[in-house]
Chains A and B, each alone.
Chain A
Amino acid sequence: MTRPDRRETSQIRALHCALGQLNRADGSAQFSAGNTSVICGIYGPVDVKLYDEKLDRAHIEVKFRPDIGVPMTKDKWNESAIRSTFEREIIGQMHPRTLVQINIQVRQNDGSVDAAAINATTLALVDAGIPLRSMVAAATCAVCANGNIVIDPTQEEISKAQSTHTFGFSNQQTDSPAYVDSRGDFTMDQYNSCYDMCATATERIFAFMRSAIESKVSKESLNEA
Protein backbone atom coordinates (compact mmCIF):
# COMPACT_ATOMS: atom_id res chain seq x y z
CA MET A 1 0.00 0.00 0.00
CA THR A 2 1.72 3.14 -1.16
CA ARG A 3 0.92 6.70 -0.20
CA PRO A 4 -0.96 8.97 -2.63
CA ASP A 5 2.25 10.86 -3.41
CA ARG A 6 4.37 7.65 -3.45
CA ARG A 7 6.43 8.57 -0.42
CA GLU A 8 7.82 6.01 2.03
CA THR A 9 5.91 5.90 5.33
CA SER A 10 8.83 7.52 7.17
CA GLN A 11 9.66 10.04 4.44
CA ILE A 12 8.81 13.70 5.03
CA ARG A 13 7.98 16.00 2.15
CA ALA A 14 10.61 18.23 0.56
CA LEU A 15 11.44 21.11 2.90
CA HIS A 16 11.95 24.65 1.79
CA CYS A 17 12.52 27.82 3.76
CA ALA A 18 13.42 31.45 3.20
CA LEU A 19 14.50 33.80 5.97
CA GLY A 20 13.98 37.57 6.11
CA GLN A 21 11.63 37.89 3.14
CA LEU A 22 9.46 40.51 4.85
CA ASN A 23 11.52 43.69 4.97
CA ARG A 24 9.28 45.59 7.41
CA ALA A 25 9.23 42.84 10.05
CA ASP A 26 12.01 42.44 12.61
CA GLY A 27 12.36 38.85 11.52
CA SER A 28 10.51 36.54 9.21
CA ALA A 29 10.57 33.06 7.77
CA GLN A 30 8.68 31.08 5.24
CA PHE A 31 8.56 27.35 5.85
CA SER A 32 7.18 24.82 3.39
CA ALA A 33 6.82 21.08 3.46
CA GLY A 34 5.54 19.96 0.07
CA ASN A 35 2.39 21.94 -0.68
CA THR A 36 1.94 23.12 2.91
CA SER A 37 3.42 26.56 3.31
CA VAL A 38 3.42 29.02 6.20
CA ILE A 39 4.95 32.45 6.55
CA CYS A 40 5.72 34.00 9.93
CA GLY A 41 6.65 37.60 10.74
CA ILE A 42 7.95 38.75 14.11
CA TYR A 43 7.74 42.21 15.61
CA GLY A 44 9.65 42.56 18.81
CA PRO A 45 10.54 43.75 21.26
CA VAL A 46 8.05 46.59 20.64
CA ASP A 47 5.69 48.77 22.69
CA VAL A 48 3.13 46.86 24.70
CA LYS A 49 -0.43 47.81 25.52
CA LEU A 50 -0.75 48.87 29.16
CA TYR A 51 -3.28 46.09 29.75
CA ASP A 52 -0.80 43.39 28.64
CA GLU A 53 2.32 44.88 30.21
CA LYS A 54 4.29 42.50 32.43
CA LEU A 55 6.82 43.96 34.83
CA ASP A 56 9.30 41.09 34.69
CA ARG A 57 9.08 39.77 31.15
CA ALA A 58 7.92 40.37 27.61
CA HIS A 59 4.33 39.71 26.63
CA ILE A 60 3.99 37.18 23.81
CA GLU A 61 1.15 37.60 21.35
CA VAL A 62 0.34 35.22 18.51
CA LYS A 63 -1.86 36.00 15.52
CA PHE A 64 -2.75 33.05 13.32
CA ARG A 65 -4.40 33.69 9.96
CA PRO A 66 -5.79 30.85 7.86
CA ASP A 67 -5.24 30.52 4.11
CA ILE A 68 -8.95 31.00 3.38
CA GLY A 69 -11.45 33.23 5.18
CA VAL A 70 -11.30 35.16 8.42
CA PRO A 71 -9.76 33.79 11.64
CA MET A 72 -12.17 31.55 13.56
CA THR A 73 -12.08 29.63 16.84
CA LYS A 74 -9.90 26.90 15.32
CA ASP A 75 -7.29 29.55 14.60
CA LYS A 76 -7.54 30.81 18.19
CA TRP A 77 -6.83 27.23 19.19
CA ASN A 78 -3.65 27.29 17.07
CA GLU A 79 -2.63 30.66 18.50
CA SER A 80 -2.93 29.30 22.01
CA ALA A 81 -0.94 26.17 21.10
CA ILE A 82 1.90 28.18 19.58
CA ARG A 83 1.96 30.73 22.40
CA SER A 84 2.10 28.04 25.09
CA THR A 85 5.00 26.39 23.25
CA PHE A 86 7.08 29.53 22.72
CA GLU A 87 6.30 31.36 25.96
CA ARG A 88 8.71 28.97 27.61
CA GLU A 89 11.37 29.18 24.89
CA ILE A 90 11.56 32.95 24.53
CA ILE A 91 13.70 34.49 27.29
CA GLY A 92 11.20 37.25 27.98
CA GLN A 93 13.05 38.38 31.10
CA MET A 94 15.63 40.07 28.85
CA HIS A 95 13.00 42.48 27.53
CA PRO A 96 10.58 43.26 30.36
CA ARG A 97 7.56 45.49 29.68
CA THR A 98 7.65 44.89 25.94
CA LEU A 99 5.71 42.89 23.39
CA VAL A 100 6.87 40.16 21.05
CA GLN A 101 4.28 39.70 18.35
CA ILE A 102 4.23 36.52 16.28
CA ASN A 103 2.18 36.79 13.09
CA ILE A 104 1.51 33.59 11.22
CA GLN A 105 -0.11 33.44 7.81
CA VAL A 106 -0.93 30.10 6.24
CA ARG A 107 -0.15 30.32 2.51
CA GLN A 108 -1.24 26.86 1.55
CA ASN A 109 -2.72 24.10 3.68
CA ASP A 110 -2.06 20.56 2.54
CA GLY A 111 -2.00 18.92 5.98
CA SER A 112 0.36 19.12 8.98
CA VAL A 113 -0.04 22.89 9.06
CA ASP A 114 0.32 23.24 12.83
CA ALA A 115 3.75 21.60 12.73
CA ALA A 116 4.77 23.86 9.84
CA ALA A 117 3.60 26.89 11.83
CA ILE A 118 5.79 25.91 14.80
CA ASN A 119 8.81 25.40 12.51
CA ALA A 120 8.24 28.72 10.75
CA THR A 121 7.92 30.51 14.11
CA THR A 122 11.22 29.07 15.38
CA LEU A 123 13.04 30.21 12.22
CA ALA A 124 11.45 33.67 12.32
CA LEU A 125 12.33 34.13 16.01
CA VAL A 126 15.96 33.23 15.21
CA ASP A 127 15.88 35.62 12.25
CA ALA A 128 14.51 38.40 14.49
CA GLY A 129 17.28 37.80 17.03
CA ILE A 130 14.84 37.20 19.88
CA PRO A 131 16.75 35.45 22.71
CA LEU A 132 15.67 31.80 22.90
CA ARG A 133 16.37 29.05 25.41
CA SER A 134 16.25 26.46 22.66
CA MET A 135 14.78 25.87 19.24
CA VAL A 136 11.58 23.91 18.71
CA ALA A 137 10.74 21.78 15.71
CA ALA A 138 7.51 19.85 15.19
CA ALA A 139 6.29 17.03 13.01
CA THR A 140 2.95 15.29 12.46
CA CYS A 141 2.17 11.59 12.11
CA ALA A 142 -1.08 9.95 11.08
CA VAL A 143 -2.30 6.44 11.79
CA CYS A 144 -4.12 5.22 8.67
CA ALA A 145 -7.22 3.03 8.70
CA ASN A 146 -5.04 -0.02 7.87
CA GLY A 147 -2.81 0.64 10.89
CA ASN A 148 0.12 2.04 8.89
CA ILE A 149 1.81 5.03 10.46
CA VAL A 150 2.80 7.75 8.02
CA ILE A 151 4.85 10.85 8.74
CA ASP A 152 4.03 14.35 7.51
CA PRO A 153 0.58 13.42 6.14
CA THR A 154 -1.17 15.43 3.44
CA GLN A 155 -4.71 16.73 3.88
CA GLU A 156 -6.02 13.72 1.95
CA GLU A 157 -4.27 11.31 4.32
CA ILE A 158 -5.43 13.22 7.42
CA SER A 159 -9.08 13.14 6.33
CA LYS A 160 -8.94 9.33 6.14
CA ALA A 161 -6.75 8.82 9.22
CA GLN A 162 -7.77 7.07 12.44
CA SER A 163 -5.73 9.50 14.49
CA THR A 164 -3.24 12.33 14.02
CA HIS A 165 -0.31 13.12 16.29
CA THR A 166 1.72 16.32 16.38
CA PHE A 167 4.84 16.40 18.53
CA GLY A 168 7.11 19.39 19.12
CA PHE A 169 10.63 18.86 20.42
CA SER A 170 13.26 21.21 21.74
CA ASN A 171 16.84 20.75 20.55
CA GLN A 172 18.00 20.91 24.19
CA GLN A 173 15.73 18.32 25.74
CA THR A 174 15.25 15.07 23.89
CA ASP A 175 13.45 12.97 26.50
CA SER A 176 10.42 15.23 26.95
CA PRO A 177 8.26 16.75 24.24
CA ALA A 178 7.62 20.50 24.15
CA TYR A 179 4.21 20.08 22.59
CA VAL A 180 1.85 17.15 22.10
CA ASP A 181 -1.48 17.01 20.35
CA SER A 182 -2.70 13.48 19.65
CA ARG A 183 -6.27 13.12 18.53
CA GLY A 184 -8.52 10.37 17.24
CA ASP A 185 -8.83 6.73 18.18
CA PHE A 186 -5.50 5.19 19.13
CA THR A 187 -3.63 2.93 21.54
CA MET A 188 -0.62 3.70 23.70
CA ASP A 189 1.58 1.59 21.37
CA GLN A 190 0.52 3.67 18.37
CA TYR A 191 1.17 6.83 20.39
CA ASN A 192 4.68 5.62 21.21
CA SER A 193 5.45 4.69 17.60
CA CYS A 194 4.28 8.12 16.45
CA TYR A 195 6.39 9.74 19.16
CA ASP A 196 9.51 7.97 17.89
CA MET A 197 8.78 8.74 14.25
CA CYS A 198 8.20 12.43 14.97
CA ALA A 199 11.34 12.59 17.13
CA THR A 200 13.40 11.21 14.23
CA ALA A 201 11.76 13.60 11.77
CA THR A 202 12.42 16.64 13.96
CA GLU A 203 16.13 15.76 14.01
CA ARG A 204 16.11 16.11 10.24
CA ILE A 205 14.16 19.37 10.49
CA PHE A 206 16.66 20.74 13.01
CA ALA A 207 19.51 19.92 10.62
CA PHE A 208 17.59 21.67 7.83
CA MET A 209 16.97 24.74 10.03
CA ARG A 210 20.61 24.85 10.98
CA SER A 211 21.82 24.85 7.41
CA ALA A 212 19.25 27.52 6.45
CA ILE A 213 20.40 29.82 9.24
CA GLU A 214 24.08 29.13 8.53
CA SER A 215 23.71 30.01 4.86
CA LYS A 216 21.90 33.24 5.69
CA VAL A 217 24.49 34.27 8.27
CA SER A 218 27.39 33.49 5.93
CA LYS A 219 25.75 35.53 3.13
CA GLU A 220 25.30 38.48 5.50
CA SER A 221 28.91 38.33 6.67
CA LEU A 222 30.08 38.24 3.03
CA ASN A 223 28.05 41.37 2.27
CA GLU A 224 29.57 43.16 5.25
CA ALA A 225 33.10 42.20 4.22
Chain B
Amino acid sequence: MASTTGQLTFAIETFKRIHPVEFQRRFLSQQTRHDGRAFDEFRNTQVVKGTISTAHGSSTVRIGNTTMVCGIKAEVSEPDVSRPNEGFLTTNIDLSPMCSASYRPGAPSEEAQVCSEHLFRLFSGCVDLAALCIEKGQAVWALAADVVCLKSDGNIMDAAIIALLAALEDVQLPQASLDSVTGVVSADKTMAKRLQLQRRLFPASFSLVDDAYLVADADDAEERLATGSLLVVLDGNGKLANVWKRGSFIGRDAIARCVEEAQARRNAVAKALK
Protein backbone atom coordinates (compact mmCIF):
# COMPACT_ATOMS: atom_id res chain seq x y z
CA MET B 1 0.00 0.00 0.00
CA ALA B 2 1.19 3.51 -0.74
CA SER B 3 1.44 6.00 2.08
CA THR B 4 0.43 9.64 1.90
CA THR B 5 4.05 10.79 1.48
CA GLY B 6 4.25 8.94 -1.83
CA GLN B 7 6.85 6.52 -0.49
CA LEU B 8 6.10 2.80 -0.69
CA THR B 9 5.52 1.19 2.66
CA PHE B 10 4.74 -2.40 3.45
CA ALA B 11 3.39 -4.40 6.29
CA ILE B 12 6.36 -6.01 8.05
CA GLU B 13 5.36 -9.53 6.97
CA THR B 14 5.19 -8.39 3.32
CA PHE B 15 8.60 -6.71 3.57
CA LYS B 16 10.09 -9.89 5.07
CA ARG B 17 8.82 -11.95 2.17
CA ILE B 18 9.70 -9.76 -0.80
CA HIS B 19 13.04 -8.38 0.46
CA PRO B 20 14.40 -11.10 2.75
CA VAL B 21 18.00 -9.87 2.46
CA GLU B 22 17.18 -6.24 3.17
CA PHE B 23 14.84 -7.28 5.98
CA GLN B 24 17.64 -9.17 7.77
CA ARG B 25 20.20 -6.46 7.08
CA ARG B 26 18.07 -3.84 8.86
CA PHE B 27 18.34 -5.90 12.03
CA LEU B 28 21.91 -7.16 11.66
CA SER B 29 23.31 -3.68 10.94
CA GLN B 30 21.83 -2.64 14.31
CA GLN B 31 23.66 -5.52 16.04
CA THR B 32 20.45 -7.45 16.68
CA ARG B 33 18.46 -10.20 15.00
CA HIS B 34 14.92 -10.43 13.67
CA ASP B 35 13.77 -12.56 16.59
CA GLY B 36 15.38 -10.24 19.15
CA ARG B 37 18.38 -12.43 19.96
CA ALA B 38 21.93 -11.15 20.37
CA PHE B 39 24.52 -12.42 17.83
CA ASP B 40 25.96 -14.92 20.29
CA GLU B 41 22.64 -16.07 21.74
CA PHE B 42 21.36 -19.59 21.18
CA ARG B 43 17.68 -20.46 21.19
CA ASN B 44 16.04 -22.23 24.07
CA THR B 45 16.98 -25.90 23.96
CA GLN B 46 14.89 -28.70 25.44
CA VAL B 47 15.79 -32.37 25.61
CA VAL B 48 13.52 -35.24 26.62
CA LYS B 49 14.92 -38.76 26.80
CA GLY B 50 12.99 -41.97 26.24
CA THR B 51 10.20 -40.53 24.12
CA ILE B 52 9.74 -43.70 22.03
CA SER B 53 8.98 -46.64 24.31
CA THR B 54 9.42 -49.26 21.56
CA ALA B 55 13.01 -48.22 20.77
CA HIS B 56 16.07 -49.29 22.79
CA GLY B 57 16.98 -45.65 23.25
CA SER B 58 15.32 -42.45 22.11
CA SER B 59 15.09 -38.72 22.59
CA THR B 60 13.35 -35.60 21.37
CA VAL B 61 15.21 -32.33 21.05
CA ARG B 62 13.88 -28.85 20.40
CA ILE B 63 16.06 -25.88 19.56
CA GLY B 64 13.59 -23.04 19.13
CA ASN B 65 11.24 -24.34 16.45
CA THR B 66 13.58 -27.03 15.16
CA THR B 67 12.41 -30.42 16.39
CA MET B 68 14.40 -33.62 16.06
CA VAL B 69 13.49 -37.13 17.20
CA CYS B 70 16.08 -39.87 17.50
CA GLY B 71 15.39 -43.56 17.94
CA ILE B 72 18.00 -46.27 18.35
CA LYS B 73 17.24 -49.87 17.51
CA ALA B 74 19.59 -52.61 18.66
CA GLU B 75 19.70 -55.79 16.63
CA VAL B 76 21.89 -58.84 16.84
CA SER B 77 24.15 -59.40 13.89
CA GLU B 78 27.34 -61.14 12.90
CA PRO B 79 30.54 -59.13 13.41
CA ASP B 80 32.92 -58.10 10.68
CA VAL B 81 35.55 -60.79 10.05
CA SER B 82 38.39 -58.29 10.50
CA ARG B 83 36.94 -57.00 13.82
CA PRO B 84 35.40 -60.07 15.47
CA ASN B 85 34.74 -58.49 18.87
CA GLU B 86 33.26 -55.15 17.78
CA GLY B 87 29.64 -54.19 17.26
CA PHE B 88 28.29 -51.61 14.85
CA LEU B 89 26.86 -48.12 14.96
CA THR B 90 25.07 -46.73 11.93
CA THR B 91 23.56 -43.29 11.68
CA ASN B 92 20.91 -41.96 9.38
CA ILE B 93 19.09 -38.67 9.25
CA ASP B 94 15.75 -38.19 7.59
CA LEU B 95 15.06 -34.73 6.17
CA SER B 96 11.68 -35.24 4.58
CA PRO B 97 9.28 -32.66 3.07
CA MET B 98 7.36 -33.00 6.33
CA CYS B 99 9.84 -30.74 8.14
CA SER B 100 10.41 -28.03 5.56
CA ALA B 101 9.33 -27.06 2.05
CA SER B 102 12.99 -26.98 0.99
CA TYR B 103 13.29 -30.78 1.10
CA ARG B 104 12.04 -33.01 -1.71
CA PRO B 105 10.61 -36.49 -1.33
CA GLY B 106 12.59 -39.46 -2.58
CA ALA B 107 16.22 -40.46 -2.14
CA PRO B 108 18.15 -38.68 0.65
CA SER B 109 19.39 -35.27 -0.45
CA GLU B 110 23.08 -34.38 -0.44
CA GLU B 111 22.50 -32.39 2.75
CA ALA B 112 21.00 -35.42 4.49
CA GLN B 113 23.84 -37.68 3.36
CA VAL B 114 26.49 -35.21 4.46
CA CYS B 115 24.73 -34.77 7.80
CA SER B 116 24.47 -38.50 8.52
CA GLU B 117 28.09 -39.04 7.46
CA HIS B 118 29.19 -36.26 9.79
CA LEU B 119 27.16 -37.72 12.66
CA PHE B 120 28.80 -41.06 12.03
CA ARG B 121 32.32 -39.57 11.99
CA LEU B 122 31.65 -37.75 15.25
CA PHE B 123 30.00 -40.57 17.17
CA SER B 124 31.99 -43.57 15.95
CA GLY B 125 34.66 -42.57 18.48
CA CYS B 126 32.18 -42.13 21.33
CA VAL B 127 30.68 -45.59 21.56
CA ASP B 128 32.85 -48.43 22.83
CA LEU B 129 32.17 -50.91 20.05
CA ALA B 130 33.87 -53.70 22.00
CA ALA B 131 31.17 -53.34 24.67
CA LEU B 132 28.60 -54.32 22.02
CA CYS B 133 30.13 -57.78 21.67
CA ILE B 134 27.91 -60.70 22.73
CA GLU B 135 30.12 -63.61 21.65
CA LYS B 136 33.42 -63.01 19.89
CA GLY B 137 33.23 -63.76 16.18
CA GLN B 138 29.63 -64.96 16.53
CA ALA B 139 27.20 -62.27 17.60
CA VAL B 140 27.36 -58.54 18.34
CA TRP B 141 24.89 -55.72 18.82
CA ALA B 142 24.31 -53.45 15.84
CA LEU B 143 22.95 -50.06 16.87
CA ALA B 144 20.95 -48.32 14.16
CA ALA B 145 20.37 -44.67 15.03
CA ASP B 146 17.66 -42.93 13.06
CA VAL B 147 17.28 -39.20 13.46
CA VAL B 148 14.04 -37.79 12.07
CA CYS B 149 13.50 -34.09 11.64
CA LEU B 150 9.93 -33.06 12.41
CA LYS B 151 10.30 -29.30 12.12
CA SER B 152 13.24 -27.67 10.41
CA ASP B 153 13.89 -24.07 11.44
CA GLY B 154 17.65 -23.92 11.01
CA ASN B 155 20.61 -25.47 12.84
CA ILE B 156 19.78 -29.06 12.01
CA MET B 157 23.29 -30.25 12.80
CA ASP B 158 23.23 -29.14 16.46
CA ALA B 159 19.78 -30.62 17.00
CA ALA B 160 20.81 -33.92 15.39
CA ILE B 161 24.01 -34.20 17.48
CA ILE B 162 22.19 -33.45 20.74
CA ALA B 163 19.36 -35.84 19.84
CA LEU B 164 21.79 -38.63 19.00
CA LEU B 165 23.80 -38.07 22.19
CA ALA B 166 20.66 -38.10 24.33
CA ALA B 167 19.33 -41.23 22.62
CA LEU B 168 22.67 -43.07 23.00
CA GLU B 169 22.70 -42.21 26.70
CA ASP B 170 19.19 -43.62 26.91
CA VAL B 171 20.08 -46.97 25.31
CA GLN B 172 19.47 -49.99 27.50
CA LEU B 173 20.67 -53.29 26.09
CA PRO B 174 19.17 -56.53 27.39
CA GLN B 175 21.55 -59.16 28.75
CA ALA B 176 22.20 -61.33 25.71
CA SER B 177 23.83 -64.74 25.51
CA LEU B 178 24.60 -67.12 22.69
CA ASP B 179 23.54 -70.74 23.01
CA SER B 180 26.57 -72.54 21.62
CA VAL B 181 24.54 -75.67 20.71
CA THR B 182 21.60 -74.11 18.86
CA GLY B 183 23.42 -70.93 17.80
CA VAL B 184 20.49 -68.82 18.96
CA VAL B 185 20.96 -65.57 20.84
CA SER B 186 18.55 -65.11 23.71
CA ALA B 187 18.01 -61.79 25.48
CA ASP B 188 16.94 -61.25 29.06
CA LYS B 189 15.08 -57.96 29.22
CA THR B 190 14.92 -57.95 33.00
CA MET B 191 18.70 -57.62 33.08
CA ALA B 192 19.00 -54.55 30.87
CA LYS B 193 22.25 -52.62 31.04
CA ARG B 194 22.75 -48.99 30.18
CA LEU B 195 25.21 -48.25 27.37
CA GLN B 196 28.29 -46.39 28.61
CA LEU B 197 29.56 -43.65 26.32
CA GLN B 198 33.28 -42.95 26.16
CA ARG B 199 32.73 -39.32 25.30
CA ARG B 200 29.88 -36.82 25.34
CA LEU B 201 29.64 -34.30 22.50
CA PHE B 202 28.27 -30.77 22.70
CA PRO B 203 27.79 -28.89 19.42
CA ALA B 204 27.59 -25.18 18.67
CA SER B 205 26.87 -23.90 15.17
CA PHE B 206 27.58 -20.46 13.78
CA SER B 207 26.56 -18.96 10.45
CA LEU B 208 28.10 -16.16 8.47
CA VAL B 209 25.04 -14.22 7.29
CA ASP B 210 25.32 -11.94 4.26
CA ASP B 211 29.13 -12.40 4.29
CA ALA B 212 29.49 -10.04 7.24
CA TYR B 213 27.69 -11.08 10.42
CA LEU B 214 28.67 -14.15 12.39
CA VAL B 215 25.62 -15.32 14.34
CA ALA B 216 25.12 -18.30 16.63
CA ASP B 217 22.38 -20.86 16.04
CA ALA B 218 20.88 -19.35 12.87
CA ASP B 219 17.23 -20.02 12.19
CA ASP B 220 15.86 -20.93 8.76
CA ALA B 221 15.46 -17.32 7.56
CA GLU B 222 19.05 -16.49 8.49
CA GLU B 223 20.44 -19.75 7.14
CA ARG B 224 18.98 -18.98 3.73
CA LEU B 225 21.21 -15.91 3.55
CA ALA B 226 24.23 -17.62 5.07
CA THR B 227 27.38 -17.74 2.95
CA GLY B 228 29.44 -19.73 5.39
CA SER B 229 29.02 -22.01 8.38
CA LEU B 230 31.10 -23.13 11.33
CA LEU B 231 30.45 -26.11 13.56
CA VAL B 232 32.36 -26.44 16.83
CA VAL B 233 31.95 -29.65 18.83
CA LEU B 234 33.35 -29.96 22.35
CA ASP B 235 33.50 -33.00 24.60
CA GLY B 236 32.56 -33.32 28.25
CA ASN B 237 36.01 -32.14 29.41
CA GLY B 238 35.90 -29.02 27.28
CA LYS B 239 38.38 -30.39 24.74
CA LEU B 240 37.66 -29.98 21.06
CA ALA B 241 36.21 -32.81 19.02
CA ASN B 242 35.49 -31.06 15.74
CA VAL B 243 35.94 -27.71 14.01
CA TRP B 244 34.26 -27.72 10.63
CA LYS B 245 34.13 -24.58 8.57
CA ARG B 246 32.66 -24.37 5.10
CA GLY B 247 31.82 -21.65 2.61
CA SER B 248 32.96 -18.08 2.89
CA PHE B 249 35.97 -16.90 4.89
CA ILE B 250 35.66 -16.75 8.66
CA GLY B 251 38.70 -15.13 10.27
CA ARG B 252 41.08 -17.06 12.51
CA ASP B 253 40.24 -14.83 15.50
CA ALA B 254 36.51 -15.17 14.86
CA ILE B 255 36.84 -18.97 14.92
CA ALA B 256 38.72 -18.74 18.23
CA ARG B 257 35.92 -16.55 19.65
CA CYS B 258 33.33 -19.09 18.50
CA VAL B 259 35.21 -21.83 20.37
CA GLU B 260 34.96 -19.67 23.52
CA GLU B 261 31.23 -19.24 22.96
CA ALA B 262 30.88 -22.97 22.39
CA GLN B 263 32.25 -23.52 25.91
CA ALA B 264 29.37 -21.50 27.37
CA ARG B 265 26.93 -23.31 25.12
CA ARG B 266 28.31 -26.66 26.34
CA ASN B 267 27.18 -25.87 29.88
CA ALA B 268 23.70 -24.91 28.68
CA VAL B 269 23.32 -28.11 26.64
CA ALA B 270 24.68 -30.23 29.51
CA LYS B 271 22.06 -28.67 31.78
CA ALA B 272 19.29 -29.42 29.24
CA LEU B 273 20.50 -33.04 29.08
CA LYS B 274 20.58 -33.22 32.89
B259 close to chain A: CB less than 8 A:
yes
Bound: A185/B199 CA distance, A: 10
Contact A183/B117 with A177-B249, A178-B249, A188-B256 known, Cβ cut-off 8 Å = no
Q: Which of A184-225 contact B (CB under 8 A)?
A: 184-188, 191, 195
Q: Which residues of B contact A73 (CB under 8 A)?
A: 113-114, 116-117, 120
Q: Is residue B270 within 8 Å, beta carbon to beta carbon, of the partner chain?
A: no
Q: How far is the CA of A73 from the CA of B241 in the complex (A)?
A: 21
**Is the Cβ of A182 less than 8 Å from the Cβ of B240?**
yes
In the complex, what distance in Å separates the CA atom of A195 from the CA atom of B116? Answer: 27
* A170 CA / B252 CA spacing, docked (Å): 13
Q: Which of B118, B230, B254 neighbours the largest number of chain A CB atoms within 10 Å of its CB?
A: B118
**Which stretch from A78-86, A107-115, A149-157 is at the chain B interface?**
A78-86
A-contacting residues, B76-114, CB 8 Å: 110-111, 113-114
Chain A residues near B235 (CB, 8 Å)? 185
- How many residues on the A side are at the interface (Cβ–Cβ under 8 A)? 29
> Is there an interface contact between B252 and A187, defined as CB atoms closer than 8 Å?
no
Query: Which one of A80, A170, A182, A191 contacts B114 once the chains associate, using CB atoms below 8 Å?
Result: A80
From B230, B239, B251, give the contact of A187 (CB < 8 A): B239
Closest to A77 in B: B117
Chain B residues within 8 Å of A180, by CB: 230, 243-245, 255
Q: Is the interface of B mostly helix, strand, loop or mixed?
A: mixed
Report the contact-size class of chain B (Cβ under 8 Å from the partner): 20 to 34
Binary interface encoding of chain B residues 224-257 relative to chain A, with 1 for a CB under 8 A from any of its CBs, else 0: 0001001000010001111111111111101110
Cβ–Cβ < 8 Å partners of B248 in chain A = 88
With A73-B113, A183-B121, A183-B242 known to touch, is A88 a contact of B247 (CB < 8 Å)?
A: yes
CB <8 Å contact, A84 and B247: yes
Residues B124-146 near A (CB distance < 8 A): 125
Q: Does A173 contact B (CB under 8 A)?
A: yes
Task: Report Cα–Cα, A178/B117, bound state, in Å.
Answer: 21
Q: Give every chain A residue within 8 A of B251 (Cβ-Cβ).
A: 175-176
Query: Are B246 and A177 within 8 A (Cβ)?
Result: no
Interface positions, chain A 157-182, Cβ under 8 Å from B, are 170, 173, 175-182
Residue of B nearest to A174 (CB): B252
The yes or no answer to A6 lying at the interface (CB within 8 A) is no
**Contact present for A77 and B244 (CB under 8 Å):** no
The contact of A173 among B199, B243, B249, B254, by CB within 8 Å, is B249
Q: How far is the CB of B264 from chain A (nearest CB, A)?
A: 15
Chain A residue with Cβ nearest B244:
A181
Which B residues lie within 8 Å of A181 (CB)? 243-245
CB-based nearest A residue for B235:
A185
22 contacts between A and B (CB under 8 A): A73-B113, A73-B120, A76-B113, A77-B113, A84-B246, A85-B246, A88-B227, A173-B249, A175-B251, A175-B252, A176-B254, A179-B246, A180-B244, A180-B255, A181-B243, A181-B245, A183-B122, A183-B244, A185-B125, A186-B240, A187-B239, A191-B240
